[in-house]
């Protein structure tokens, strides 16, 4: 126990020392994360050009990969209880078979060169689907110019996973232009206020003792994190997983209650569980059945894990609740990268694979 406590204290000292970030974060990811509230406000003002004039769709398909697809997950989570039109996120080439001329396709690719997003855009055009592109440039922007497709132009210079605000908020305006209202009055401003507060609480200047993201990273340490959410927070759990993978360069897993109660829970009886750190994403508005399931989950598998942490949404509207968790996850994965001594910006293996896909033909 003494060794564990000493390691814990050493991590806290490291995370609270300004020199740590000058050495370990040469790309200044901390500045990008600190500016996330400003990014969201700027993103809320972005509009497609030319202005879309599409009819109310039967279905909305957000086509993207990686960080660009996360915006679709957030949109689908906010829309699930509000719209009578389904919002689906398509991760892959082409489009789902059911997508047709009455369905809106939004192709998202921060770089504009994501092969799967380009394939989806081309499939939408060939099927006569209304199409909007969200990108900073690349081949998707060129396609939009050539075909007269409405395009939201994003600022350049970020990693896609760090452009969540730019990729998400334009979606609200696009859907609103087709008479699909995902957010109600005051919910966007509430979300801004919540992430403003979090920016002050989670930044590098806030000490570990009062910084939730630092404490989470300190606890996870060298353990692979396993993140579980409920019906509302499940897609955010997946976002935490991918942030851990890209920023912290660690294996991570994610799951959703109640589904994982019917299968994955049994795996926690094995010896690997002792190496895993359990993170539970709770929603302030979750129903009593989900609350009970989380309590039983912690009781039954918590003692098997290397550690357990619970975090909760903030705010009243879906937008504030989901965005607050996503922002906390970004900071947590950032601090975990610092703890592990890895660069939270670069993704060399991912870049190598993309390069090989372009050239190995």
* Residues 251/224, Cβ–Cβ less than 8 Å: yes
Preceding peptide of 226 cis, ω within 30°: no
Q: Identify the burial level of 320 via C-beta atoms within 10 angstroms of its C-beta, where 0-12 means exposed, 13-18 middle and 19 or more buried.
A: buried
193 part of the active site: no
H runs (alpha helix) in the chain: 2-15, 18-24, 29-34, 36-43, 66-79, 115-127, 138-147, 164-176, 187-202, 212-220, 234-247, 288-301, 318-340, 348-359
What's the count of helices (H) and strands (E) in the chain, helices before strands? Answer: 14, 9
Going by DSSP bridges, is the β-strand pair 277-282/253-256 parallel, antiparallel, or unpaired? unpaired
Question: Which one of the listed residues 45, 81, 146, 262 is annotated catalytic?
Answer: 262
* Residues 319/190, Cβ–Cβ less than 8 Å: yes
- Distance in angstroms (rounded) separating the CA atoms of residues 354 and 343: 19
Q: Which residues contact 232 (CB under 8 A, 6 or more apart)?
A: 77, 283, 285, 286, 313, 318, 321, 322
* Residues 105/120, Cβ–Cβ less than 8 Å: yes
262 part of the active site: yes
Strand order in the sheet with 307-312: 253-256, 225-229, 277-282, 307-312
354 part of the active site: yes
Q: What is the DSSP letter of 278?
A: E
Question: How many residues are there in the chain?
Answer: 361
Question: Which one of the listed residues 8, 35, 223, 354 is annotated catalytic?
Answer: 354
Question: Which one of the listed residues 241, 246, 249, 286 is annotated catalytic?
Answer: 246
The catalytic residues are 246, 262, 354
């Amino acid at each position: 126990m003494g060794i564990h406590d000493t390691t814990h204290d050493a991590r806290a000292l490291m995370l609270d020392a300004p020199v740590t970030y000058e050495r370990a974060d040469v790309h200044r990811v901390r500045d990008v994360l600190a500016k996330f509230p400003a990014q969201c406000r700027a993103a809320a003002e972005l509009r497609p050009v030319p202005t879309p004039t599409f009819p109310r769709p039967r279905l909305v398909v957000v086509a993207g990969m990686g960080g660009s697809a996360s915006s679709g997950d957030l949109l689908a989570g906010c829309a699930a209880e509000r719209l009578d039109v389904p919002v689906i996120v398509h991760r892959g080439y082409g489009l789902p078979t059911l997508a047709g001329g009455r369905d809106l396709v939004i192709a998202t690719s921060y770089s504009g060169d994501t092969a799967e997003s380009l394939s989806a855009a081309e499939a939408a055009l060939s099927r006569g689907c209304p199409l909007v592109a969200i990108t900073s440039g690349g081949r998707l922007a060129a396609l939009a110019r050539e075909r007269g497709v409405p395009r939201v132009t994003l600022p350049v210079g970020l990693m896609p996973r760090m452009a969540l605000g730019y990729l998400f908020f334009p979606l609200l305006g696009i859907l609103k232009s087709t008479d699909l209202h995902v957010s109600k009055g005051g919910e966007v401003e509430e979300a801004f206020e919540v992430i403003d507060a979090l920016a002050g609480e989670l930044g590098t200047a806030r000490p570990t003792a009062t910084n939730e993201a630092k404490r989470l990273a300190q606890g996870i340490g060298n353990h692979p994190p396993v993140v579980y959410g409920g019906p509302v927070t499940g897609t955010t759990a997946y976002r935490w997983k991918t942030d851990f993978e890209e920023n912290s360069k660690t294996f991570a897993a994610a799951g959703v209650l109640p589904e994982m109660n019917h299968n994955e829970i049994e795996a926690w009886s094995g010896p690997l569980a002792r190496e895993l750190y359990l993170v539970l994403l709770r929603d302030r508005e979750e129903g009593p059945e989900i609350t009970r399931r989380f309590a039983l989950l912690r009781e039954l598998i918590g003692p098997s894990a290397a550690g357990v942490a619970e975090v909760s949404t903030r705010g009243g509207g879906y937008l504030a609740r989901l965005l607050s968790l996503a922002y906390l996850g970004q900071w947590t994965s950032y601090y975990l990268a610092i703890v592990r001594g890895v660069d939270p910006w670069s993704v060399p293996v991912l870049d190598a694979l993309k390069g090989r896909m372009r050239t190995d033909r």
